[in-house]
């Protein structure tokens, strides 16, 4: 099968009969309980990741609990997924908090917030051991949403993305029409960009048609699947606009609380198990596809200049201060994150050797 056919299949996804699934959430049968989970992904590596979580649940439950995974738009649009889980139209969803950011800017702090010198791994540490989960549950209660969520899969920092020319100075980004999501939109607007928020499958056609000048999605594998190498040959890795992100697996809270305690535990601990699997699996694939982009598809790969990333940090300061002044809960989450990052990263920065130094010793 050719790459173009694969790409069309990726973008199209697999259409399922939404009407049939709409009326049958949380089906209880002779084999146990079946939950319907819709993913925000129509194909590619993120749908594989969602399926990996589902497989762990199904295998551990011994038939007492089964999750049926539905691809993007099977029952509702991505923007409607959280509401669908809240209302019980869906039992569960697999997506990222930035996809419901319009309800609360604080949502973006759970995965696409400012970088306080930490990576996705440490943000997940804050979720589990620094009070993050409790703050998220507080946010759900304030929004009166009948959902319970688990977070997993620490994503590497997202690339700055694809441009028509190499970016060597932040001034080149001024006025560019650029695709991103979540709080990153506020940050890049502060830097002078014109931001467009588009679903993943619409990014490449938008850049091809000239609707946008530049774009990011998430990683080399997904970007290659989307065909970004066909509309740009300038790819910049490293950025602070979304330097830490992870998946949210959310369940209808009433449905979740109606499960036996051991099944609730499986849903929770399968998320933690997938945390490690994602990092091992995806960093391997991302590195392979980056080599393909460079060596076989003629893409020029650059590391984003430190000067550009320094301007991003300044923009983050402005955005965080402004929103904190408008939203006390946002400010509360930021202070909790800062306290955790300051303590944990102090230890890690003192203790971790310079891995780049060792890499250069062997591979320079």
Delineate the domains of the chain, giving CATH numbers in brackets: 14-155+245-285 (3.40.190.170)
Specify the pLDDT at position 181.
83
For 84-106, the pLDDT digits (tens) are 999 999 999 999 998 898 899 99
pTM: 0.88
Other beta carbons within 10 angstroms of residue 18's beta carbon come to 13
Q: Which residues of 57-72 are buried (b: 16+ CB within 10 A; e: fewer)?
A: bbebbeeebbbbbbbb
Residue partners of 4: CB distance under 8 A and separation at least 6: 227
pLDDT per residue rounded down to tens, the chain (364 residues): 444 434 434 344 433 333 333 434 565 544 689 999 999 999 999 999 999 999 999 999 999 999 999 999 999 999 999 999 999 999 999 999 988 988 999 999 998 899 999 999 999 999 999 999 999 999 999 999 999 999 999 999 999 999 999 999 999 999 999 998 888 999 999 999 999 888 778 899 999 999 999 999 899 999 999 999 999 999 999 999 999 999 999 999 999 999 999 999 999 999 999 999 999 999 999 999 999 999 999 999 999 999 999 999 999 999 999 999 999 999 999 999 999 999 999 999 999 999 999 999 999 8
CB 251 within 8 A of CB 35: yes
Other beta carbons within 10 angstroms of residue 306's beta carbon come to 9
Specify the pLDDT at position 90.
98
The span from the CA of 258 to the CA of 299, in Å, is 51
Element (DSSP H or E) covering residue 106: none
CA angle in degrees (0–180, nearest 5) for 276-44-297: 105
């Amino acid at each position: 099968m050719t790459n173009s056919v694969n790409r069309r299949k990726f973008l199209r996804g697999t259409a399922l009969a939404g009407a049939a699934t709409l009326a049958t959430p949380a089906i209880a049968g002779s084999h146990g309980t079946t939950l319907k989970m819709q993913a925000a992904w129509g194909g590619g590596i993120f749908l594989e990741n969602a399926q990996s979580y589902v497989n762990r649940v199904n295998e551990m439950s011994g038939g007492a609990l089964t999750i049926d995974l539905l691809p993007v738009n099977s029952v509702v649009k991505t923007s409607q997924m959280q509401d669908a889980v809240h209302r019980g139209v869906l039992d569960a969803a697999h997506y990222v908090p930035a996809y419901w950011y319009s309800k609360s800017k604080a949502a973006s702090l759970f995965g696409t917030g400012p970088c306080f010198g930490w990576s996705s791994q440490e943000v997940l540490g804050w979720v589990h051991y620094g009070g993050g989960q409790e703050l998220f549950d507080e946010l759900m209660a304030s929004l009166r949403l009948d959902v319970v969520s688990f977070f997993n899969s620490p994503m590497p920092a997202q690339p700055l993305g694809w441009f028509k020319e190499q970016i060597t100075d932040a001034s080149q980004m001024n006025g560019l029409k650029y695709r991103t999501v979540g709080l990153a939109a506020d940050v890049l607007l502060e830097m002078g960009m014109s931001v467009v928020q588009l679903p993943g499958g619409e990014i490449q056609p938008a850049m091809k048609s000239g609707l946008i000048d530049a774009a990011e999605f998430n990683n080399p594998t997904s970007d290659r699947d989307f065909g970004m190498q066909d509309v740009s040959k300038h790819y910049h890795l490293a950025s602070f606009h979304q330097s830490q992100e992870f998946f949210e697996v959310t369940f209808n809270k009433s449905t979740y609380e109606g499960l036996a305690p051991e099944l609730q535990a499986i849903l929770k601990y399968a998320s933690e198990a997938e945390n490690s699997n994602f990092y091992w699996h995806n960093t391997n694939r991302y590195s392979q596809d980056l080599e393909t982009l460079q060596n076989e598809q003629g893409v020029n790969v650059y590391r984003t200049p430190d000067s550009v990333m320094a301007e991003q940090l300044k923009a983050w300061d402005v955005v965080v201060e402004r929103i904190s002044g408008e939203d006390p809960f946002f400010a509360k989450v930021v202070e909790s994150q800062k306290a955790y990052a300051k303590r944990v990263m102090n230890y890690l920065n003192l203790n971790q050797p310079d891995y780049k130094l060792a890499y250069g010793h062997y591979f320079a």
